[in-house]
């Protein structure tokens, strides 16, 4: 079958038409085959094909041979069948939340370099010019006569360099350690963002699996109901079924149609949520490469010696880093009472003149070096109260950590219990699904021989559908619980 993959032009169309002749002949009426053969003239030595006569029937038949449009071809190229690991890999590369966390780490690294820059000499250059409007006058009484003397010059230039560097500054040194801790806090926040993103990707992927398989179950139920409605309609036409049976079976089909539509909406919503988390274009079609029931082979529950260690939990580790930062802050407040020592060097040039400011200037250099000792004595209790405030914050975070540890242990215990229960629930749901399928098969055969009513058949259909949906839901619950447990335990490579 041939389709136009390139932009249409008359030469491409002629070549395609000539190649399609043998296929088109099978679909063109016999009266037109001779007409097609003798009326289509194509000149191979020229790029300009010549069409003498072309039957409308022939052209229509040939165009029907190419059902695929360019938009349909583009849609198929945008369909992505991805595994869960591929979705996680794409999300970790393109999700804006992860990018923001990485930029936050880079920002803290720059903040540390800013603090380190305070240890190096600070060199400045200055240039100043002063123009006197009225010179200062000095009056003196000399020998009974008052004499007035003007002091200064019209132009004053002052330029030079100054350099300063701290020699002893304990608070500055401690600030560098605090900057290192801030970088660790940013790294842990980025790690926590990745763990949360992986957990959200897992749940979104599992929700898409559940939506796809649930729609398949509902569609099969819809096909069965539609088949039964067709059977009753044919029986009614032959006089072997009542109009009530036809209406009742048609109502069953109508009742399932909203469920099928809701299943389609659920698939669309799950796809959009997954695409948002992955950071890909909304026009792409994302489908899983596995079925939900295929994942049951990896469900064995948790081992008997499972410890549930929460030391890698991101929230707990971040709280510990913040506690370390507060301890350093307490030490920093104490260092505020220590003296500081710095050195400063200045070299300057000075010029004074009258008249033109840019002529006859003679710059005279002068320089000095100085040591500056700063010893804090009294600041109205400001430093003391700042220290007390830091100590209170440290006591608060100790209580917060204790509360967080208790909450995490409880959540882990509940998650482990739920997983073990859901493993048993999956086994029970699978057995119930098999029994419901066998009961429906028996009821179908009984209905075919007239030993069961349509109501009995419909009840068995509903029971079979409910059992299959319950089985899928139990698998989904198990997968979501394991993902939540991995996030609680701070596992980064749980999906590799």
Give 131's contacts (C-beta < 8 A, 6+ positions apart).
154, 155, 156, 357
pLDDT score at 362: 86
Say if 139 falls within a structural domain.
Answer: yes
Say if 495 falls within a structural domain.
Answer: no
pLDDT score at 78: 64
Give the burial class of 301: count Cβ atoms within 10 A of its Cβ; 0-12 exposed, 13-18 middle, 19 or more buried: middle
Task: State the residue range of the domain holding 255.
Answer: 85-116+172-329+383-489
* Residue 198 sits in the same domain as residue 265: yes
Count the Cβ atoms, other than its own, within 10 Å of residue 442: 12
Contact yes or no for 76/267 (Cβ under 8 A): no
Give 302's contacts (C-beta < 8 A, 6+ positions apart).
416, 419, 420
Mean pLDDT score across all residues of the chain = 81
Say if 164 falls within a structural domain.
Answer: yes
State both tokens at 433.
């699904």
* Residue 410 sits in the same domain as residue 362: no
What are the residue ranges in the chain where pLDDT is below 70? 1-78, 142-144, 297-306, 493-496
Closest CA to 103 of 178, 189, 36, 174: 189
**Side-chain half-sphere exposure of 382, counting CA atoms within 13 A:** 7
pLDDT score at 69: 40
* Residue 256 sits in the same domain as residue 320: yes
* Residue 108 sits in the same domain as residue 127: no
Give 483's contacts (C-beta < 8 A, 6+ positions apart).
199, 202, 203, 206, 494
Query: Positive or negative, the Cα torsion across 172, 176, 181, 187?
Result: positive
CATH classification at residue 127: 2.20.200
- Cα-Cα end-to-end distance for the chain: 43
pLDDT score at 303: 55
* Residue 234 sits in the same domain as residue 368: no
Say if 356 falls within a structural domain.
Answer: yes
pLDDT score at 11: 47
Threshold 0.75, pTM exceeds: no
pLDDT score at 329: 93
Say if 5 falls within a structural domain.
Answer: no
* Residue 358 sits in the same domain as residue 476: no
Contact yes or no for 363/350 (Cβ under 8 A): yes
State both tokens at 314.
């991101």
pLDDT score at 399: 95
* Residue 128 sits in the same domain as residue 275: no
Long-range CB contacts for residues 191-196, cutoff 8 Å, separation at least 24? 191/314, 191/492, 192/314, 192/315, 192/318, 193/97, 193/98, 193/100, 193/101, 194/92, 194/98, 194/101, 194/492, 195/314, 195/487, 195/490, 195/491, 195/492, 196/314, 196/487
Contact yes or no for 430/468 (Cβ under 8 A): no
* Residue 264 sits in the same domain as residue 218: yes
Distance CA 48, CA 42 (A): 9
pLDDT score at 330: 94
pLDDT score at 299: 64
Distance CA 244, CA 369 (A): 110
* Residue 146 sits in the same domain as residue 30: no
* Residue 296 sits in the same domain as residue 398: yes
CATH classification at residue 221: 1.20.1600.10
* Residue 210 sits in the same domain as residue 282: yes
* Residue 271 sits in the same domain as residue 362: no
Domain tally for the chain?
A: 3
């Amino acid at each position: 079958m041939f389709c136009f993959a390139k932009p249409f032009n008359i030469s491409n169309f002629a070549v395609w038409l000539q190649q399609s002749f043998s296929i088109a002949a099978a679909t063109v009426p016999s009266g037109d085959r001779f007409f097609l053969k003798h009326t289509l003239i194509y000149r191979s030595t020229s790029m300009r094909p010549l069409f003498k006569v072309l039957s409308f029937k022939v052209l229509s038949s040939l165009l029907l041979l190419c059902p695929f449009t360019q938009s349909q071809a583009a849609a198929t190229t945008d369909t992505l069948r991805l595994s869960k690991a591929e979705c996680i890999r794409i999300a970790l590369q393109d999700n804006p939340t992860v990018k923001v966390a990485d930029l936050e780490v880079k920002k803290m690294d720059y903040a540390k370099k800013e603090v380190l820059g305070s240890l190096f000499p600070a060199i400045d250059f200055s240039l100043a010019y002063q123009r006197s409007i009225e010179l200062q006058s000095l009056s003196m009484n000399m020998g009974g006569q008052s004499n007035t003397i003007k002091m200064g010059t019209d132009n004053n230039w002052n330029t030079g360099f100054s350099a300063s560097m701290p020699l002893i500054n304990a608070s500055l040194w401690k600030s560098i350690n605090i900057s290192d801790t801030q970088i660790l806090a940013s790294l842990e926040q980025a790690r926590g963002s990745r763990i949360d993103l992986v957990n959200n990707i897992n749940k979104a992927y599992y929700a898409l699996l559940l939506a796809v398989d649930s729609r398949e179950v509902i569609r099969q139920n819809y096909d069965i109901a539609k088949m039964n409605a067709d059977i009753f309609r044919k029986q009614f036409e032959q006089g072997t079924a009542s109009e009530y049976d036809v209406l009742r079976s048609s109502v069953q089909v109508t009742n399932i149609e909203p469920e099928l539509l809701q299943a389609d909406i659920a698939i669309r919503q799950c796809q959009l949520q997954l695409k948002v988390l992955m950071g890909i274009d909304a026009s792409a079609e994302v489908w899983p490469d596995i079925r939900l029931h295929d994942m049951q082979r990896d469900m064995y529950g948790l081992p008997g010696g499972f410890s549930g260690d929460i030391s890698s939990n991101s929230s707990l580790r971040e709280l510990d880093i913040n506690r370390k930062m507060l301890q350093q802050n307490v030490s920093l407040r104490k260092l505020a009472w220590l003296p500081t020592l710095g050195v400063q060097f200045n070299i300057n040039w000075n010029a004074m003149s009258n008249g033109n400011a840019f002529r006859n200037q003679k710059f005279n250099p002068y320089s000095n070096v100085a040591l500056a000792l700063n010893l804090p004595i009294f600041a109205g209790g400001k430093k003391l109260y700042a220290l007390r405030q830091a100590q209170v914050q440290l006591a608060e975070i100790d209580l917060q950590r204790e509360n967080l540890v208790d909450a995490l242990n409880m959540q882990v215990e509940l998650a482990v219990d739920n997983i073990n229960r859901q493993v048993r629930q999956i086994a029970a749901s699978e057995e119930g699904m098999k029994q419901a399928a066998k009961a429906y098969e028996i009821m179908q055969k009984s209905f075919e021989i007239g030993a069961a009513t349509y109501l009995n058949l419909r009840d068995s259909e509903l029971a079979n559908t409910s059992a299959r949906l319950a089985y899928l839901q139990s698998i989904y619950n198990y997968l979501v619980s394991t993902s939540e447990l991995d996030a609680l335990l701070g596992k980064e490579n749980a999906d590799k």
